Amino acid sequence: MSDTLSAVMNSGQPWAAERAQYALEVHQAVGAGQLSPSEAKEILQDLVSTQKLDEASSDMQLRAALVYGVMEIVSLYG
């Protein structure tokens, strides 16, 4: 799906890889009809909330890539 999220998953940073994987799983759940787009949007926005990322990461470049990749998916849901 997202080349950005794939790169984040392969970053070697567990905090980022787990979030990227989760974002892709949420997207797949929408495709399978298990989540509505609005539910997915809310979950994904919470996934990249600034406070939570501040607690997990000091790598600003990786953090920015994660946020960008997740927001690519969020944009699909209007």
* DSSP assignment string, 45-70: HHHT-HHHHHHH---HHHHHHHHHHH
pLDDT of residue 57: 75
Number of domains in the chain: 1
pLDDT of residue 59: 85
Residue 73, classed as helix, strand or coil, is: helix
pTM for this model (two decimals): 0.87
Q: What is the pLDDT along the chain (78 residues), one digit of tens a residue?
A: 579 999 999 999 999 999 999 999 999 999 999 999 999 999 999 998 877 777 777 788 999 999 999 999 999 997
Q: Which domain holds residue 14?
A: 3-75
